Chains A and B, each alone.
Chain A
Amino acid sequence: MERFIADLVKDFEKGKINRRQFCETVALAATVFAAGSAAQAAPARGLKMLGVNHVSYACADYRVARDWYAKVLNTPIYNDKGMGRANLAFGPEQGKGGQFLITRNFGPNPPKPAAATVDHICYTVANWDDTRVNADLKAAGTNPVGRKGSVNIYDPYGFQVQISSIDGENPFI
């Protein structure tokens, strides 16, 4: 961004762009930066993945999971009508790439044994600091265990929850 603005100043000084163009371009650059750089359009064929939309988490009592995740992950709660489910939001703004966790009661039928399972979910915390993350998780009543840049905790139903930095878990490292 700095390089871009420096070039823009240079163009303004040389008279390549006028005052209005300069201000408009800076404003546009800020908007584009805030929106993220990922291309949003679907490819001509197939699907373009933007990210996880939600995780559907079923358990014996959704309220236990709801309260634990709301506390440990600081999530606001939506759509809890006392009907056996609640949504817990995190990440970017909802509708603009935001994600959520649905905590829900098991339905009337017991879950079928599955050939495939999701055995844990890992969440990224920005601006990572090992000492602070461990202290904040302990303050929330959990027992974090891990390594530099990554810790694991277990929720009330024994499900593994990993919390990581970009260095602790990165698909390209």
Chain B
Amino acid sequence: MFGLAATKLNEFEEGKISRRKLIEALTLAATATGAAGSARAASAQVGVKPALINHVSYTCPNFKQAADWYSKVFNLDQVGVKDTEITLPFGKMGEQPYNVTAKDVPLTFLLVRTRDGNAPLANGQPRPKATNLVNHMAYTVADFEPNRVKAELEAMGVKNVRGTGPNALHMDDVFGYDVEICGLANTALTDGA
């Protein structure tokens, strides 16, 4: 990028390109990484290529109680409060998701709700009965250090905090659901390796 900036600046000083062209070229180059990613995503031939998890839909007996627990433990704001659900975005309005450069990818959020899991779909069709189980959700937190994080969680009254390695801790949420928290070092390449 340094080299390109120097070259374009030379061209500008020599009158080969206009001021506007200089600005456009450097803006394009500086933002090209994200644009290239989006272009690759657009060219998927079969299936789609997710940029990120958009939301996790979590159903429980008391959505307010669960939302308060997640707000307290993960410092999450509550927005979009409705009769049966609350949205907890992983950041503030206007922030970009961590390390995502594409501008059309929103912050991930947790959708905490209380609803009948057997209710028909919005189109009136019966809801398929899932035979799998999402048996835990894992979240990445900044500056993960297991001893510090474990102490913080226990000070907050979090139940059943247990270590599972240098990069992760498990705990029970307010409804006994298994929640894992990890550092950035816990990846698809290392987890279960």
Residues from chain B with a CB closer than 8 A to the CB of A35 are: 99
Please report the total number of A residues contacting B with Cβ < 8 Å.
105
Q: Is B64's CB within 8 Å of the partner chain A?
A: no
Write out, one digit per residue, whether chain A residues 24-43 have a CB within 8 A of any chain B CB (1) or not (0).
Answer: 10110111011111111111
Nearest-neighbour CB distance to chain A for B70, whole angstroms, equals 9
Shortest Cβ distance from B192 into A: residue: A79
Q: What is the chain A residue whose CB lies nearest that of B141?
A: A47
A42 CA / B123 CA spacing, docked (Å): 43
Nearest-neighbor residue (CB-CB) of A88 within chain B: B188
Q: How far is the CA of A33 from the CA of B22 in the complex (A)?
A: 19
Whether the Cβ atoms of B87 and A171 lie closer than 8 Å is yes
- Closest-CB distance, A136 to chain B (whole angstroms): 5
Type the 1/0 row for B91-107, where 1 means its CB is closer than 8 Å to any CB of A.
Answer: 10101111111101111
Contact B58 A155 (CB under 8 A): no
Q: A171 near B132 (CB under 8 angstroms)?
A: no
Q: Which residues of chain A have C-beta atoms less than 8 A from B141's C-beta?
A: 42, 47-50
B167-189 to A contact mask, C-beta < 8 Å, 1/0: 00000010111001110111111
Q: Which residues of B contact A9 (CB under 8 A)?
A: 12, 19, 22-23
Contact with A along B67-107 (1 / 0, CB 8 A): 00000011110011000000111110101111111101111
Interface size on B, residues (CB 8 A): 104
Please, how many angstroms separate the alpha-carbon atoms of A93 and B88 in the complex? 25
Chain A, residues 60-96, CB within 8 Å of chain B (1/0): the string is 1000010000011110001100000101111111111
Shortest CB distance B121–A (Å): 8
Chain A residues within an 8 Å CB radius of B37: 126
Q: Are A137 and B51 in contact (CB under 8 A)?
A: no
The CB with the most chain B CB atoms within 10 A, among A33, A118, A159, is that of A118
Instruction: Please tell me if the beta carbons of B49 and A90 are within 8 angstroms of each other in the complex.
Output: yes
Shortest C-beta distance, B98 to chain A (Å), equals: 4
Chain A neighbourhood of B52, CB < 8 A: 51, 90-92, 99, 123-124
Please pick, from A30, A79, A137, the residue contacting B191 in the complex, using a CB distance under 8 A. Answer: A79
Task: Report B-chain residues with C-beta under 8 Å of the C-beta of A39.
Answer: 142
Residue from B49, B97, B173, B187 whose CB has the most chain A CB atoms within 10 Å:
B187
Whether the pair A126, B51 counts as a contact (CB closer than 8 A) is yes
With A5-B23, A35-B99, A95-B184 as known contacts, state yes or no: A114 contacts B176, CB within 8 Å.
yes
- Residues of A contacting B173 in the complex (Cβ-Cβ under 8 angstroms): 116
Bound complex: CA of A26 vs CA of B5, how far in Å? 7
Enumerate 19 A-B pairs (CB-CB under 8 Å) in ascending A order: A26-B2, A36-B98, A36-B100, A47-B142, A53-B180, A55-B137, A57-B134, A72-B48, A89-B187, A91-B52, A92-B52, A116-B173, A122-B55, A126-B51, A126-B102, A127-B38, A127-B42, A166-B104, A169-B54
Q: 9 closest pairs, A vs B, by CB?
A: A97-B99, A123-B50, A100-B188, A116-B60, A42-B143, A171-B89, A30-B30, A118-B134, A87-B188
